[in-house]
Amino acid sequence: MVLPKEIRKKAKIRAGDKLAIVSWERNNEICCISLIKANEFAEIVKEALGPMLKDMTRT
């Protein structure tokens, strides 16, 4: 996949950056696709799941 230079520059995407692909479905068909920097996606997941994991390890 080729991303236009303007998009890469605005998103500060550099050669070698890893991107995660996230898709949404509607009526069993993919309707939307997003690219997220993998390190930022990891942080989002940690923030969302971190509190749940802490609760699970306490019990």
Domain ranges of the chain: 5-58
**Range of lowest pLDDT (15-24, 36-45, 50-59):** 50-59
Give tens-digit pLDDT for 26-41: 999 999 999 999 999 9
6 or 45, which is more confident?
Answer: 6
Going by pLDDT thresholds of 50, 70 and 90, the confidence category of residue 59 is low
pLDDT > 80? residue 13? yes
The candidate with the shortest Cα–Cα distance to 20, out of 1, 6, 40, is 40
Using alpha carbons only, give the angle 15, 49, 56 rounded to the nearest 5 degrees. 145
